[in-house]
Amino acid sequence: MKRLVIATRRSRLALWQAEHVQSRLQSLHPGVAVELLPMSTRGDELLDRRLDQAGGKGLFVKELETAMAEGRADLAVHSMKDVPAELPPGFTLAAISAREDPRDALVSNRYAALADMPARAVVGTSSLRRGAQVLERHPALEVRLLRGNVETRVAKLDRGEYDAIVLAVAGLVRLGLAARIRSYLSLDESLPAPGQGALGVECLAARRDLVQMLAALGDADTALCVRAERAVSRALGGSCALPLGAHAVMRDGRLSLSALVASADGRRVVRAHTEGADPESVGAAAAQALREQGADAILQSIP
């Protein structure tokens, strides 16, 4: 291979992620020219409704997968939290990179913490998972939809449309906006989305030479953790409509996984913790424990 093309969304964060992978590939394979193919996706264009109501997280990856299927691109770089639990037939995740800080962050010009915010103060988020966990602990706050890329969301905060917003730490750090973080939400306060903070590199499964080349970009421990987290989502239906959090860490060679499912208003939350060596088994066990506590009924209540 003398040339590789990376399909990527056009947002500054997506371009940062693609350029990060581009740089690593060029270092590993100096004889290969690595180019970017920036694209707009339906997820970037539909900004007036929740993702689950518009078609799910696949809206951020479908156009990139089409470009690979048609031969216009060789690989795509995704934020793993945006990748559906099930990939379309013929595609594979060739690598999952070492994870950035997986936590959520509070960004506000007025308040240093959620606990400081008065009743009816407005918190912006595009995520049912984040909104539910905010309301679980702070039911007097008002959670409103906030879509758009990171810079757009911060600009809406700065215009006074929200009192605070909740974003992924990883995105803020990668864009050089870590100084905007007023507080880091602990994993107990806001359990992250499956895969949050990790990058995934996707390509056609039939491209065995490319799969082998891309494998060097991966981090083994992160990949095991993300596989366990995604297994929870897959077992519970795999939709981004799920207000579901899942986060795994490696401890002494074993996976330790925490997961939760919440109603959109935060009034019903079920949690599970499982451990083991096999990521799919650990994730499936967590999903079963959540089901035994009523997760299915909670998920069916999501409007």
pLDDT at 85 over 70: yes
Contact by Cβ (8 Å): 12, 32: no
CA atoms of 44 and 12, how far apart (whole Å): 12
CA atoms of 262 and 148, how far apart (whole Å): 24
> Exposed, middle or buried: residue 160 (CB in 10 Å: 0-12, 13-18, 19+)?
exposed
203-238 pLDDT, tens digit each: 999 999 999 999 999 999 999 999 999 999 999 986
Alpha carbon distances (Å) from 261 to 117, 142, 144, 235, 297:
25, 20, 20, 12, 10
User: Which residue among 44, 52, 74, 82 is the active-site one?
Assistant: 82
Look up residue 146 and give its amino acid: L
> Domains of the chain (ranges plus CATH)?
3-97+198-218 (3.40.190.10), 104-185 (3.40.190.10), 234-300 (3.30.160.40)
Three-state SS at 141? coil
As given in the structure block, the two tokens for residue 170 are: 């990883």
141-180 pLDDT, tens digit each: 999 999 888 999 999 999 999 999 999 999 999 999 999 9
250-281 pLDDT, tens digit each: 999 999 999 999 999 999 999 999 999 999 99
Look up residue 60 and give its amino acid: F
Give yes or no: 44 in active site: no
Strand locations in the chain (E)? 3-9, 33-39, 75-79, 91-96, 104-107, 122-125, 142-145, 164-168, 181-185, 199-204, 244-251, 254-262, 269-276
Contact by Cβ (8 Å): 259, 271: yes
Cα dihedral: 154, 156, 162, 164 (round 10): 0
Alpha carbon distances (Å) from 246 to 26, 238, 269:
33, 13, 13
Q: Is the pTM of this model over 0.85?
A: yes
CA atoms of 185 and 131, how far apart (whole Å): 13
Residue for token pair 């083991």: 276
CA atoms of 279 and 258, how far apart (whole Å): 13
Q: Which residue has the higher pLDDT, 172 or 61?
A: 172
Residue for token pair 């083994």: 220
**What's the rounded mean pLDDT across residues 180-206?**
97
